[in-house]
Chain A
Amino acid sequence: MEATSTPRAKAKRAGSEEPTAGVEQYLTFQLAGEEYGVDILRVQEIKGWEKATRIPHSPHYVLGVINLRGAVVPIIELRRRFALESVDFGPTTVVIVVKVASDRGERTVGMVVDAVCEVYNVPVSDVKPPPEVGGGIDTDFVRGLATMDEKMLILLDIDKLIVDTIFDGAAVAA
């Protein structure tokens, strides 16, 4: 579907209506003043922060593992992953539990973020590719940018982000 009206006119918050074809739903969250979006179909649940069991020989952004109803689930701190300043966890700090596809099957991972914001219906045609040069931050796992309610949303390619981050390669010393 070609855009015949302005993107803004088409942008709307997800209400009770079902998303239509050509529209993707994103859960957005806050991280150091920016709003990021993840494909809502990947989100398994949102839970409060609880202390994780630290795992030695892990990257610094892997906080450890938690027990999620009998399953051992790794937790990453997204601020650290994006080389943003680390802050103390506050009352709005939450863990977004997502499912990702790795070449060894589906994995479940928790991401610590500052706060959860909204669910948006984003028309696919409104998603712009990320600029070639991001100011120091790796844009490999940015699927695209979208503008919603005058704000920029950074849409994440969650598979790439998580799989490259913690499942691949040799253990990185802490």
Chain B
Amino acid sequence: MSFDAEMEEIHKIFFEESHEGLDAMESGLLNLDASADRETINTIFRAAHSIKGGAATFGFVEIAHFTHDVETLLDEMRNGVRAMSSQAQQLLLQSVDCIREMIKAAQAGGAVDVQRVAILNESIKDLLASGDVPLTPAPALPVTEVDTVPPAVETAAMPLMNVEGTAASSPVPGWIIRFTPHEDILRTNNEPTRMFAELAKLGPVIADADISAVPALEDLVPESLYFRWTLKLNAVVDQRRVQDVFDWVDASSKLEYEEVSARPAASTGGVGTAAASPAPAPATAPTAAPKAAPAAKAAGDTSSIRVSIDKVDSLINLVGELVITQSMLSQFGERFDPGQLERLREGLSHLSRNTRDLQESVMQIRMLPIGFAFNRFPRLVHDLSRKLGKQVELRLSGEGTELDKTVLEKISDPLVHLVRNALDHGLETPAVRSAAGKDPTGTIELNAYHEGGSIIVEVKDDGAGLNKARILNRARERGLVPADAELTDDQIHNLIFQPGFSTAETISDVSGRGVGMDVVRRNINDLGGHVQITSNEGRGSTIKIRLPLTLAILDGQLVRVGAETYVISLLAIVETIQVKADQVNRLPGGVELFRLRSEYLPIIDLGQQFGIGRDPSTSCDGLLVVVESDGRRFGLMVDDLLAQQQVVIKSLESSYRQVRGLAGATILGDGRVALILDVPGLVQTFEQRALQAEAASAAA
């Protein structure tokens, strides 16, 4: 790998670990609410420290500079010099965002909001300078200590020259260093001779060793050092550079520096050498800027997935099996003997099993834990509850539940909306809660789990719950329900998902920015999922979202309705029953019911719903496909059951538009297009129609 490619690779790792570090800082900072323990602050500090170090090393100067002050602040907190205040916490959280932006900009080659960075940096500096610091004054601020350049030295410098003369007659300018090393200096592998070699790089060095301290042989410890040196450096350089040579040992050893001037200060004026003074060449200073090129544009986000080795291994195994099956089947191609039909069948069944397993494994690769979507909530809830003056505890569970990457990406926004809603409209203020005898701190739970072939995500709050009367009034005002319709609690609650329904009395800054629950439901429906709310007045609400595991493929039951073929997801189907006309009862308003054991199922006639002429022979008695939607069962009346097969889902919305009751389309083996039913959507349409019919018959 070339140097550049290698550096690019290293930058990529740096970005990745910085993002991880920032996430750690963020969650650490949010956890401080509960207990500002040392270890948490330490973790936050370490992350900032690593980011700064890396940024400085890899040439991201602005990031390093900005993070430096953040780190200093955290360092003070870590050392107990400064208390963690809520102001500091907010500032640090903002800093995390800011650094994240900067890293992203460095990653993608984008621009940073320079002003924002400057303002935030200013606030941090203010905080650092503020008297917030209790106890002892902090040891001289590191910032000022770093780049201190000693005040202009050598005003009367002489050009460097080969020094031959003796110090006594005409002193050669430079430094005299008296160095008394600590006895143990060798134990740390600090060899004085190496330091002298270092010193000699600055100019000619004359070393005088004083061996008077060497003990008698019997007392001598071979690992100890008994020498003392007087070193004469015949070069005009900054004291700092001389000190640097002994920097590693100056704590334990005794060091004295004495500057030697060319001649007494009084005589300098007489000689016209002022203009010739050669400043020590700064170019060789050890602080030369890192050469690493800052550009890392190529490291932009290519959409990628990290896949565990297990998943890859399982794929490789399956491909192996497939190859075996293929070679077995290929034998039949060479010489076909009807007697081998049984073996051929066996081979084909192997093939279909292999294909299916392979498909499942490939799908597995796209699966990611829902924790990726949950991660943003601690921060969101923290910021929002602060803004709204509410106290909230956020509980997450089931973060490891996996779902398709696309579903995951698309569910994030609806979830945010639901959580915001729960916080804004669901949870009460601490005062109201206390008055109602509830814990002043409310709870919001986010929970994910598998159920059947779906993923369930729940957003639960213990707030005020939905106000049924208000919802019903609103729905009547908007003409969403007939004035005298009798609705169950569930039906009333779920009215909030109707288009044009918004219960927020005042549009707040937090939620209700024109986006209603109907949009949330639509987004979820677009994913082939559905959403439902249950609520208890005074006790809170639970929103339950059901999502498919994947968007690409569906296990389907093909059914015939008249001349059309439709696909029903096997996940929705409970059972299929042959129906006789006399088993069907009719309610006033026209809804037909089928008695299945102890239950009466409303019948949805697909022909009627979709305006398709069904077979005359089966118009009354036909096949009833019993489906379940949101815990309730319905019967779909069809003319015939066809094959069960996996179908590739094609979006109808992207080629045409969204159609009520349809989840998409697919292309069958014979090339025809078949439509895939959206069972929950179908049920909704059916119920709306039933309500309308009821209203109409009541009005008549």
Contact = CB atoms under 8 A, between A and B. Distances in A.
Q: Would A and B touch once assembled, by the CB under 8 A criterion?
A: yes
Contact of B672 (A53, A104, A108): A53
A65 B652 CA distance: 9
Contacts of B658: 171
Contact of A56 (B609, B665, B667, B673): B609
Interface residues of B, number: 23
Contacts of B671: 67
Contacts of B564: 53-54
A72 B660 contact: no
B650 interface: yes
A58 interface: yes
A73 B672 CA distance: 12
A44 to B, nearest CB: 14
A55 B650 contact: no
Given A53-B673, A53-B674, A65-B665, A71 B611 contact: no
A64 B563 CA distance: 13
A107 interface: yes
Nearest to B657: A167
Interface in B628-652: 650, 652
B657 A65 contact: no
Given A55-B656, A108-B655, A72 B661 contact: no
Contacts of A107: 655
A14 to B, nearest CB: 31
Given A54-B564, A56-B609, A72 B655 contact: yes
A119 interface: no
A13 B141 CA distance: 85
B656 A54 contact: no
B487 interface: no
B659 A171 contact: yes
B610 interface: yes
A171 B499 CA distance: 14
B236 to A, nearest CB: 72
A65 B612 CA distance: 16
B63 interface: no
Nearest to A62: B656
A162 B606 CA distance: 29
A166 interface: yes
A67 B612 contact: no
A161 interface: no
Contacts of A62: 656
A21 interface: no
A54 B673 CA distance: 9
Interface in B656-685: 656-662, 665, 667, 671-675
Contact of A72 (B610, B611, B652): B652
A66 B658 CA distance: 16
Contacts of A66: 673
Contacts of A108: 655
B610 A56 contact: yes
Interface string A159-174: 0000000110001001
Contacts of A64: 673
24 contacts: A52-B673, A53-B673, A54-B564, A55-B652, A55-B662, A56-B612, A56-B660, A57-B610, A57-B659, A57-B660, A57-B661, A65-B652, A65-B673, A66-B673, A67-B673, A72-B655, A72-B656, A72-B673, A74-B655, A107-B655, A166-B657, A167-B657, A171-B657, A171-B658
Interface of A: 52-58, 62, 64-67, 70-74, 104, 107-108, 166-167, 171, 174
Top 7 closest pairs, chain A to chain B, by CB = A56-B610, A53-B673, A74-B656, A72-B655, A72-B665, A67-B667, A72-B650
